[in-house]
Structure formats: structure tokens, C-alpha cells
A and B are shown apart, each in its own frame.
Chain A
């Protein structure tokens, strides 16, 4: 039974792009609530189904059956379309993500990606930036000042963080010489090196911008609940709100998928060429991929329960004054390192050591600084610290 290749493509579209994210989205919501519950010394949802596993379904049912309200003075068409605009690009972006190595089904070798575009990374950047339209238009069309502020915040934020994100990925392009995501993974396989090591700085810039792109803590200004009363989605309810919700969580998945593909070797097992760790290769690539994505999703949740929110001007300052210069400098460093070292991989290894050393030094410095400020505060004593010994 040799099924035509179109069949597999359609099946993948249906599964990977259209259905799974919706389900995974609600799984993430549940995970988020449970993990945050754990971090915050409480339980989280544990009533619907065993250990609350069906909570996502219950949420979905609730959202779908809720009344769908459109404010009387809203721009009706735009108000209706913007949730769609928010969710479609995020789903589309999943089409180029290689979830795993090609697998054999019957006699056919089926790749676990919908399309392997040779401009894959560019496509991703382009398509994810479209998502902002949904938010801006949703904020504007609601005819609510808070929503408008949220939408505008979002516009400024996404435009600003697009730049360092793109620049940080340029550094990786220098290492791969290809925009195809599959090619990027294969290249990491052949160099025996995940690009997170030579691209450590690029990764940090990318991930910070990625969090900002998806409007998550500590950059959740467009929906800052305590300031803008949920910002752009204040006036949304029911299914439309669910769409925004889905868009946000799919965005998280996309950002994590790109991070895994570009920096963390995609479906590759850790250190496949190291003999004692070879057994890790027995685990299927898809599982590795999903596990890595899961880790980044966990990071999202972790940050959310740890950090306060940035202020808008500080957010802009961080983007323009720190991330963009850093990523530009990073491009230069990477370019020179690759140019000036012989062989295709020596430059990358060299960079790995440099950045690794830098990382260790900075970590130790920050520890030291922390210890010093703590000591100073204790030494300053006075009224501020007295009584600590109750």
C-alpha cells in the first residue's frame, strides 16, 4: 500500500499544524497552572479528571459555550478577524519545524515536517511577525482605551524585539550557511556541536526576544493585567478569546521549537558522538525534540512565576540599548572567528570555549556581587537590618 505523498502532507498538516497545537496548547495551560501551583505553595487545578488532567478540556468547553460579546461601538469586522489573525500565523509557522528525523512507515520514508523550505528561518521570522496584527487590530477595534494602549504597546514591543531576534539568528546563519531548518539540524549533527555553545550569546538574545515576542512574563506588557486589565483582549470573550489564548500558546511553542531546532540540535540526542552517552541515541528523535521543547515551555512558566513585569520604557531600553548592540557585536565576533580559523568547525569550537568561559566568569561575578551586596547590607546594620535575628 503505497500512499501518495500528498496523503502524508495533508495528514501532517491536519495533525501537526491544525489539531495538535490546540490540544497541546491546553495541555500547556494545565501544566502551567499545575507547575505554578507547585512553585507558589498551592495545588493548582486538580478536580477535573484524575489529577486535573481534564481541566484543559473543561476550560475549552467553558470558553466555547460562553457568550460571545462584541462591544456596541467596536469595529465589528476587525474585531471578529483579529483573533483569527493572531492564531493563523502562529499555526502556519509550525509547518516548517522539523519535529524529528524522517521515519519509516511501511516502505515509505516520511519526513516529520510539512515543508522543508530553503528559506525556512526567514519564513518563520516573517510569519511570526504577522501575528502582531491580530493583537494591534484587536486592541484598536475594541474601542476601549486600555485595549488600545495594550495594542500599541504590543506593536512597539514586537517591532523592537523582531530586530534583535533576527540579528541573533544571523549569527547562527553564519555557522550553518543555510536557512533551511532541516539543514541547520543536520549541520549540528555533522559538526558534533549544538549551536548553543558557539551561539551562546545569540541564544540568550534570541530567547529573551522570543519571550518578548510572545508577550509573556516578564514582558507581558500588552496584556499587563494589573495595569491595562488584560490589555488588548479585555473586550474579548468566548471563542474569540480562546483564539487569542491559542495564539499566545502556539507562539510559545513556535518560539521554543525554533530555539530547539536552531540552538539545541533539534531532534538530536545530546552528544551523540560521545561513547558513554551513545545509549541516548536509542530514544527516538521526536521524543528528544518534544522533551527539549517541553523544557523551554517550562522555562516560560518558570519565568512567569519568578519575575515581576518590566515597565514599558525599560522594555524598550532593554531591546534597543542592550539586545541589539549585543547581537550586532555577536555577529562580528562569530564572523571573525569563523573567518580567521582554519577548517569549518574549528571556529565554532573556539567560540564555544570563549563563550563558555565568558559565561562561567559572568556567573561567578554575579554570585560574588550578590554575596558582597548581602554582606554590605548586613554590615550596614542600623535600623534596616536589625531584628533579623528574632
Chain B
């Protein structure tokens, strides 16, 4: 493996890597957090900073207002991503995680809110168009309903799929969802004719 490009003598003792702080710091005093707190009172639950990333946990009901404030007031114009984490035994069970990015600050903020199974999270699809499909995916994978979403349907699994695959209690090998893969009725002009013996409904 070692060819001409790897000379053995080149292994200089590397200067010791500067110790990276490996635990989260409280970020309640961060200007963004203060700004959120000022704009949407009682919304912020906690705030932390880890590896240069600010995370704000807010109340579930306030998430759309927080997003609106961060977009208009703090210039976080670009919604990077929306997803969720299933904590299974914790209450609230889910964390819905939003990543927002500001071009002027060149920095990201992570906003989180907790949600129990079946609790509706206000949709931010009205604030960021990006969130539309991301929330659909989150709904599809975790079964977290987003209230006010324009078109909350399953996106990656098929309509009629039974279960939410990214939940921790969904087995890796899958379950028999009992869903019909093919429709029983074809649109007009499509599919085999009614009297065709090969016409089968697969489910």
C-alpha cells in the first residue's frame, strides 16, 4: 500500500489537538434566543449550544410563530430541513427538529419542539415553502400530524400504508400492513377490461 507517496519519516508528531468542549453549554443568553423570547413570550423552554450550533427548544404551540419571527425578525430566510426524533419512552415522545439558516449571519439555528403521540404540531409550511415536503416526510415516517399543512399525505410510503416506519417500535423487518398495493379500480381507459380473466387485484 505504502508507495512513493508515503514516506515513513514524514510522521511528525502532530501538535496536540486543542481540547474540544464535548458537552453542551447553556445558551439562554444568546442573542437569537433572547430575540425569540422577546418576540414570542413563554415560547422558549431551553436553549443550548454544542459544537457551535445553537439549539432552541420551544413550546409546540408556538413553533409557527417562532419560525415566523426567526424568518422575518432574525433573517433566517432558508429552512434547511424539518425532521423528528422518536425518544420512545420520554415525554413528550417526539422532538420535531427544524434547521434554519440565515444568509446574512451565515449561521444555522436549530429549533426543536416536543410532541406526544398524536399531538398536532403547527405547520410551518405557511412560513417556509420548503417545509411542505419535509413535514409530509416527518408525518409519513413518525406519524406526527401537522395542523394547517396544505396537503398532509404520505410521501415516501404509499397511501394506505399502515404504520410509521421511523418510530422506534416499528420493527426493522417491517410489518404486514395489509394495504392494497394496486388499486381495485382503474381509471377509465386504463387497466385490463372487466371481462379479462387476467384481471387480478393484488393486495
A→B interface (CB under 8 Å): 72-73, 143
Binds A, one of B18-26, B68-76, B96-104, B188-196: B188-196
Task: State the Cβ distance, B124 to closest chain A Cβ, in Å.
Answer: 34
For residue B193, which residues in chain A have a CB less than 8 angstroms away from its CB? Answer: 72-73
Q: Chain A: which residue is nearest B190 at the CB level?
A: A73
Chain B residues in 8 Å Cβ range of A73? 189, 193
Q: How far is the CB of A179 from chain B (nearest CB, A)?
A: 46
The 5 closest A-B pairs by CB, nearest first: A72-B192, A72-B193, A73-B193, A72-B196, A143-B189
B192: chain A residues at CB < 8 Å are: 72
Q: Interface on B for A, CB 8 Å cutoff?
A: 189, 192-193, 196
Question: Which residues of B lie under 8 Å from residue A72 when comparing CB positions?
Answer: 192-193, 196
**Cα distance A72–B192 when bound, in Å?**
7
SS class, residues of chain A in contact with chain B? loop
Cα distance, A72 to B191, chains bound together (Å): 9
A22 to chain B, nearest CB (A): 36
Taking the closest CB of chain A, its distance from the CB of B199, in whole angstroms, is: 10
Task: Give chain A nearest CB distance to B194 CB in angstroms.
Answer: 11
Min C-beta distance of A226 to chain B, whole Å: 23
Nearest to B196 among chain A residues (CB) is: A72
A266 to B152, CA, bound (A): 68
Instruction: Give Cα A143 to B196, complex, Å.
Output: 17
Bound-complex Cα distance A73 to B193 (A): 8
Note all chain A residues with C-beta closer than 8 A to B189: 73, 143
**B149 nearest CB across to chain A (Å):** 32
Inter-chain contacts of A143 with B (CB < 8 A): 189
Minimum CB distance partner of B198 in chain A: A72
Would you give the shortest CB distance from B44 to chain A, in whole angstroms?
A: 41
- A residues within 8 A CB of B196? 72
Give the shortest distance, in Å, between A143 (CB) and chain B (any CB): 7
Q: How far is the CA of A76 from the CA of B152 in the complex (A)?
A: 44
Instruction: For the complex, give the distance between the alpha carbons of A73 and B198 in Å.
Output: 14
Chain A residue with Cβ nearest B199? A72
CB distance from A141 to the nearest CB of B (A): 13
Bound Cα distance from A73 to B189, whole angstroms: 8
Shortest distance from the beta carbon of B152 to any chain A beta carbon, whole Å: 30
Q: Can you give 6 contacting A-B residue pairs, CB < 8 Å?
A: A72-B192, A72-B193, A72-B196, A73-B189, A73-B193, A143-B189
A73 vs B192: C-alpha distance when bound (angstroms):
8
Bound-state CA distance A143–B188 (Å) is 11
B103, chain A: closest CB distance, angstroms: 18
The minimal Cβ–Cβ distance linking A145 to chain B, given in whole angstroms, is 9
B36 → A minimal CB distance (Å): 36
Kindly state the separation between the CA atoms of A145 and B189 in the bound complex, as whole angstroms.
Answer: 10
Distance in angstroms between the alpha carbons of A173 and B195 in the assembled complex: 59
Minimum CB–CB distance from B188 to chain A (whole Å) comes to: 11
Q: CA separation between A249 and B51, bound complex, in Å?
A: 66
Docked pose: A143 CA to B190 CA in angstroms? 9
Residue of B nearest to A145 (CB): B189
Bound: A338/B193 CA distance, A: 65
With the chains together, A143 CA to B192 CA distance in Å? 12
Query: Measured between alpha carbons, how far is A143 from B189 in the docked complex, in Å?
Result: 8
- Report the bound CA distance from A143 to B193 in whole Å: 13
Q: How far is the CB of B92 from chain A (nearest CB, A)?
A: 47
Bound Cα distance from A270 to B192, whole angstroms = 61
Give min CB distance, B163 to chain A, whole Å. 35
CA distance A143 to B186 in the complex (A): 15
Chain A nearest CB, measured from B186 CB (Å): 11
A187 to B156, CA, bound (A): 70
A3 to B193, CA, bound (A): 59
Please report the C-alpha to C-alpha distance between residue A4 and residue B196 in the assembled complex, in whole angstroms.
Answer: 58
Q: How far is the CB of B200 from chain A (nearest CB, A)?
A: 14
A73 to B195 CA separation, bound complex (whole angstroms): 12
- Assembled-state Cα–Cα distance A73/B196 (Å): 11
User: Which chain B residue shows the least CB distance to A73?
Assistant: B193
A56 to chain B, nearest CB (A): 37
Report how far A353 CA is from B192 CA in the complex, Å: 65
